[in-house]
């Protein structure tokens, strides 16, 4: 069994899923698990049950117990203010041997995508968070400053466009027949009803509209392209503001786009985000994210026990993680 003094846990939790990894100080992943949503503002007690269960499943896979861990970093959606971190830390199961860090999930996404140096990450999934870091390691995350958001907001804009076009108030959109055909609905009213009805509204349908919005935009639908372009420009402006918050505006910095929204094959949204940033930040260097957001939590936990994040450690982390499909979100 690995030396308990060298074992850490990293967890990333958001509005769609929670992922936990147990790792040793060489970067080898010993166990991992995935659970449901754990956003603390909307999920309440269910969020903590999900976190606890996912952590235990990862430990079980590794053949370990909580007492074997030396450090654990939890990067969670909803940890937007200092008191949120205190609240969550008080609720987590802990061992006296294990140092616990709680922080916003966008900061974890930043560490996972770009482990070192001046950088900005736009993590766009169910919601959206942007984080930035300067050369000294100081960071900032958007929290409740964030606008616009992620797939739910894009889906809501898509639904509004479909309804306004159907009523003759605005330009009709090719997104309407695409959505009805894909979701197997007879008419627009049926779509609106399923999302807004009093009993059991299917809010997840909004997230399912987002990839269809991108498909329609790629096919040339002007309404869909306008929605995506406006949204991307807003994300780019927010990312530029994040750079200013840590004093790297105008400096060379790496930029990564991560999260489920950016997994779509369409290049329109990422292109607009980066172009919007370039208008204010001429020295951005777009990079492919190094790893998944949970990797950032693992890296932080390793740093907290004094492990240098070297190339061999990062290589081991990437080699021992599951494939990208494990992290996909299916609405």
* Domain residue ranges in the chain: 4-114+291-327, 116-289
Is residue 187 predicted with pLDDT exceeding 80? yes
Q: Is the pTM of this model over 0.85?
A: yes
Phi, psi angle pair for 12, to nearest 5°:
-120, 125
CATH class in words for 4-114+291-327: alpha beta
Is residue 96 predicted with pLDDT exceeding 80? no
Calpha distance 252→118 (Å, rounded):
8
pLDDT in tens, 14-47: 888 999 999 999 999 999 999 998 988 877 788 9
Is residue 91 predicted with pLDDT exceeding 70? yes
Calpha distance 64→208 (Å, rounded):
38
Segment 77-82 mean pLDDT = 93
Q: Are domains 4-114+291-327 and 116-289 of this chain identical in fold?
A: yes
- Best mean pLDDT range from 83-87, 123-127, 156-160, 320-324: 156-160
Strand ranges (E), the chain: 8-13, 18-23, 29-35, 71-76, 99-104, 119-124, 128-133, 139-141, 253-258, 284-286
Q: Are strands 18-23 and 284-286 parallel, antiparallel or unpaired?
A: unpaired
Give the rounded percent of residues in the chain with a pLDDT score beyond 90. Answer: 82
pLDDT in tens, 270-323: 999 999 999 987 789 999 999 999 999 999 999 999 999 999 999 999 888 888
In the sheet where 71-76 sits, what is the strand order? 29-35, 18-23, 8-13, 71-76, 99-104
> Mean pLDDT over all residues of the chain?
93
CATH class in words for 116-289: alpha beta
Q: What is the CA radius of gyration of the chain?
A: 20
pLDDT in tens, 217-270: 999 999 999 999 999 999 999 999 999 999 999 899 999 999 989 999 999 999
The H or E element that residue 240 is part of is helix 222-245
Residue with tokens 């993590």: 123
CB 23 within 8 A of CB 61: no
Phi, psi angle pair for 162, to nearest 5°:
-60, -45
């Amino acid at each position: 069994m690995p030396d308990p003094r060298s074992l850490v846990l990293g967890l990333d939790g958001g509005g769609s899923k929670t992922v936990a990894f147990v790792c040793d100080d060489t970067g080898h992943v010993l166990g991992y698990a995935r659970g449901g949503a754990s956003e603390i503002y909307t999920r309440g007690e269910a969020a903590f049950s999900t976190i606890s269960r996912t952590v235990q499943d990862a430990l079980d896979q590794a053949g370990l117990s909580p007492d074997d861990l030396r450090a654990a970093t939890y990067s969670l959606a909803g940890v937007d203010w200092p008191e949120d971190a205190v609240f969550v830390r008080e609720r987590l199961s802990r061992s006296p041997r294990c140092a616990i860090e709680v922080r916003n999930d966008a900061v974890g996404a930043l560490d996972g995508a770009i482990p070192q140096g001046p950088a900005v990450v736009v993590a766009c999934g169910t919601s959206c968070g942007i984080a930035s870091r300067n050369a000294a390691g100081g960071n900032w995350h958007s929290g409740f400053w964030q606008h616009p958001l992620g797939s739910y907001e894009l889906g809501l804009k898509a639904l509004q466009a479909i309804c306004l076009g159907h009523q003759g108030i605005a330009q009709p959109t090719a997104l309407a027949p695409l959505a009805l055909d894909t979701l197997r609905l007879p008419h627009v009213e049926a779509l609106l009803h399923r999302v807004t009805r009093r009993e059991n509204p299917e809010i997840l349908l909004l997230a399912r509209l987002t990839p269809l919005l991108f498909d329609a935009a790629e096919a040339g639908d002007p309404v869909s392209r306008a929605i995506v372009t406006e949204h991307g420009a807003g994300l780019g402006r927010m990312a530029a503001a994040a750079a200013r918050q840590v004093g790297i505006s105008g400096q060379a910095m790496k930029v990564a786009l991560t999260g489920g929204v950016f997994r779509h094959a369409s290049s329109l949204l990422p292109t607009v985000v980066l172009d919007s940033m370039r208008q204010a930040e001429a020295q951005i260097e777009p990079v492919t994210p190094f790893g998944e957001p949970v990797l950032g939590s693992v890296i932080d936990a390793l740093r907290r026990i004094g492990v240098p994040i070297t190339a061999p450690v990062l290589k081991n982390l990437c080699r021992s993680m599951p494939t990208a499909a494990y992290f996909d979100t299916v609405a």
